A and B are shown apart, each in its own frame.
Chain A
């Protein structure tokens, strides 16, 4: 299985901050990576696929980059509604696997 390691696991930030989350894959996955946002008690919501393509309806302050084994999710200016847990997922091979999550909390 391909292992995904996110860093940091926990992040404390303020509204307006620029936030970057990293996802590292245990082997190359080209650009077959997606990012999801999950709020408490809710299902994950797709933010980005193909490493850098913004899902329709997702605010442009979210962006993704990377290929191969290292990827980043950036929130350019953190908004109150962005406090949540973020997961990366690889879709290069089966079984599909997820990172362990990064919880973004209010400083």
Chain B
């Protein structure tokens, strides 16, 4: 059973860069695609992007210019950086695993971490 835990600042100033880390327990980073999803308060889910253990990435075009996802297999962690933060980026940020094998799905999720953008 894979367990995921997000960590990072709960408050970010406008124009700054958000950095979040997801620590993976009880699982190998080589078995899934490691994703970030966010959810503004009271709103729906938005996929941010994924990284595979090989380092290959895929980002949502709506955020691509501002997003970097990286992986550290030695620490069983993957990370999200989102630059030029604005109030519109205030959201709960989830890390999750996407299992791919014919029919894909997001099977494990972290508990989520609320990030507020405010000066």
Contact = CB atoms under 8 A, between A and B. Distances in A.
B104 A87 contact: no
- Mostly, the A contact residues are loop
B60 interface: yes
A98 B46 contact: yes
Contacts of A46: 105-107
A44 B96 CA distance: 10
Cβ-closest 10 pairs across A and B: A43-B109, A50-B103, A49-B105, A96-B47, A91-B104, A98-B45, A95-B60, A34-B105, A100-B44, A101-B44
B91 to A, nearest CB: 13
Contacts of A87: 44-45
Interface of B: 35, 44-47, 58-62, 94, 96, 98, 102-107, 109-112
A91 B106 CA distance: 10
Contacts, number: 59
A43 B104 contact: no
Contact of B109 (A44, A49, A91): A44
B44 A34 contact: no
A63 interface: no
A104 to B, nearest CB: 15
Contact of B105 (A91, A97, A101): A91
B106 A34 contact: yes
A91 B103 CA distance: 8
A9 to B, nearest CB: 10
A76 interface: no
A60 B49 CA distance: 32
Nearest to B62: A95
B44 A89 contact: no
A2 B53 CA distance: 27
Interface in A9-40: 31-32, 34, 36
A53 B107 CA distance: 13
A34 B58 CA distance: 20
A15 to B, nearest CB: 26
Contacts of A53: 103
